[in-house]
């Protein structure tokens, strides 16, 4: 029903728009300009589902921001290209398009597997709806992911469970930290009273392990510091992280960059954001044992809703690697404190990343299979001048 409402609203907007009334009197060049200006109207721009308009030759005439994100194309580059270029396997889509065009009725398919890139596969439901009374637009196609609501619910559940676990561990850390200081102090006093040199080794072990445990407790308590917000360029942060990783793994590791240099500066705690992305990149490098391929990709995300707040722009960062992947038994709890897939891992790196990103109203998610693990981070872009209320309603 919702898809019919979207198509109906689109046609109602055509009928009420003064541009349509003058189309027949405009020259061909003016018609194209008018249509291009007209199609960017809020009704389709703010939808979370992807919408594509095509002409009678199956050439794309418009994509909304959600479609730009889904198919990883810009509106400018998509306009005028063939619909089938959006997919590696477009046959199911083309059948629906021809059916809707031939019978002048809507065509609906649910949960059809599509391959959008050589690495991006997903199930999509789509509705093809004929559009009347406007040149250059023949069909409206709306895409939605049946798993999107499931994914949102899963993310909210994981964040809630992680917060509960983190609060429990934080309270435990406070309880341990005080007697730990007394234990270390006692070991130092004992060390001064020892006469035999070989006994100093034992007190040294106690002091060293106490310091190591204190460092671990400090890291557990770190996320609760108040963020220091400043404007900064995310690519400067990512370049520093890339340099650190390549310095640590000097041979056998290749780090590819795919940056959207049009991204504006963002406002956030630069130290927290740096640590969050460094932890993700280090996790990828460790999974590869220093030998393999890591790709860091940045894009602009438009009109996003995060933590029940609406933002005009967002920062989308993907950190992917071609390692062995994350075990299925760990994938749902990889962001929990003290959970690690590595024998010598502390289980704090990704947990801290999620906490720091949550401090910025962002989300972090992971999809993994052998040969391709991808962490996706989405953070709203706000500047120091952005003082508006982004809440819904």
How does residue 19 score in pLDDT terms, banded at 50, 70 and 90?
very low
**pLDDT tens digit sequence for 132-165:** 755 667 889 998 876 656 666 666 666 666 666 6
Average of per-residue pLDDT across 275-292: 90
Measuring CA to CA, which residue among 115, 127, 46, 119 is closest to residue 84? 115
Radius of gyration of the chain, Cα coordinates, nearest whole angstrom: 27
d(Cα 89, Cα 84) in Å, to the nearest integer?
8
Domain positions in the chain:
2-146, 151-223, 227-380
Please say if the pLDDT value at position 37 is more than 50: no
Please say if the pLDDT value at position 292 is more than 80: yes
Where does the chain show beta strands of DSSP type E? 50-54, 60-63, 107-115, 121-130, 139-144, 229-232, 253-258, 266-269, 292-306, 309-321, 363-369, 372-380
d(Cα 373, Cα 324) in Å, to the nearest integer?
8
Chain-centre distance for alpha carbon 147: 16
Indicate the DSSP class of residue 82: B
Q: Which of 5-19, 47-61, 205-219, 326-340 has the lowest mean pLDDT?
A: 5-19
Its CATH class, for the domain covering 2-146, is: alpha beta
Measuring CA to CA, which residue among 269, 358, 261 is closest to residue 306? 358
**pLDDT tens digit sequence for 310-349:** 787 889 999 999 998 888 888 777 877 766 666 565 567 7
Strand partners, 356: none
How does residue 353 score in pLDDT terms, banded at 50, 70 and 90?
confident
Q: Which of 144-153, 170-179, 247-256 has the lowest mean pLDDT?
A: 144-153
d(Cα 334, Cα 341) in Å, to the nearest integer?
8
Q: What pLDDT, on a 0 to 100 scale, did the predictor assign at position 301?
A: 84
Average of per-residue pLDDT across 188-213: 84
State the pTM of this model: 0.58
Average of per-residue pLDDT across 101-106: 89
Taking domain 227-380, whether its CATH number is 3.30.565.10 is answered by yes
| Mean pLDDT of the residues in the chain | 77
Q: What pLDDT, on a 0 to 100 scale, did the predictor assign at position 119?
A: 53
Strand partners, 34: none
């Amino acid at each position: 029903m919702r898809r019919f409402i979207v198509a109906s609203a689109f046609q109602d907007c055509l009928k009420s728009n003064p541009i349509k009334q003058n189309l027949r009197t405009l020259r061909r060049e003016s018609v194209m300009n008018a249509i291009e200006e007209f199609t960017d109207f809020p009704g389709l721009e703010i939808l979370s589902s992807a919408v594509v308009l095509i002409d009678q030759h199956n050439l794309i005439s418009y994509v909304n921001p959600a479609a730009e994100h889904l198919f990883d194309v810009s509106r400018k580059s998509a306009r005028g290209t063939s619909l089938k270029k959006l997919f590696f396997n477009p046959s199911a889509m083309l059948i629906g398009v021809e059916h809707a065009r031939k019978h002048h009725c809507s065509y609906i398919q649910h949960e059809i597997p599509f391959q959008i890139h050589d690495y991006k596969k997903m199930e999509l439901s789509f509705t093809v709806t004929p559009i009347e009374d406007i040149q250059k637009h023949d069909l409206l196609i709306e895409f939605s992911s049946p798993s999107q609501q499931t994914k949102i619910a899963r993310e909210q559940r994981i964040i809630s469970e992680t917060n509960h676990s983190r609060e429990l561990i934080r309270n435990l850390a406070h309880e341990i930290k005080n007697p730990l200081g007394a234990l270390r102090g006692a070991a130092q006093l004992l060390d001064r009273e020892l006469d035999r040199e070989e006994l100093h080794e034992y007190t040294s072990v106690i002091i060293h392990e106490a310091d190591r445990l204190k460092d671990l407790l400090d890291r557990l308590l770190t996320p609760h510091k108040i963020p220091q917000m400043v404007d900064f360029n995310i690519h400067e942060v990512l370049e520093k992280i890339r340099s650190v990783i390549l310095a640590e793994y000097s041979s056998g590791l290749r780090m590819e960059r795919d940056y959207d240099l049009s991204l504006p500066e963002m406002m956030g705690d630069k130290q927290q954001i740096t640590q969050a992305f460094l932890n993700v990149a280090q996790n990828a490098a460790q999974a590869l044992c220093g030998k393999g391929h890591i790709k860091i990709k940045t894009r602009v995300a438009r009109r996003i809703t995060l933590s029940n707040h609406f933002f005009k722009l967002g920062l989308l960062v993907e950190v992917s690697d071609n390692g062995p992947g994350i075990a299925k038994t760990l994938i749902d709890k990889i962001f929990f404190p003290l959970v690690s897939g590595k024998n010598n891992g502390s289980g704090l790196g990704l947990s801290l990343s999620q906490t720091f990103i949550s401090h910025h109203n962002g989300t972090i998610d992971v999809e993994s299979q052998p040969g391709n693990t991808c962490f996706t981070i989405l953070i709203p872009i706000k500047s120091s001048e952005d003082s508006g209320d982004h809440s819904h309603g």
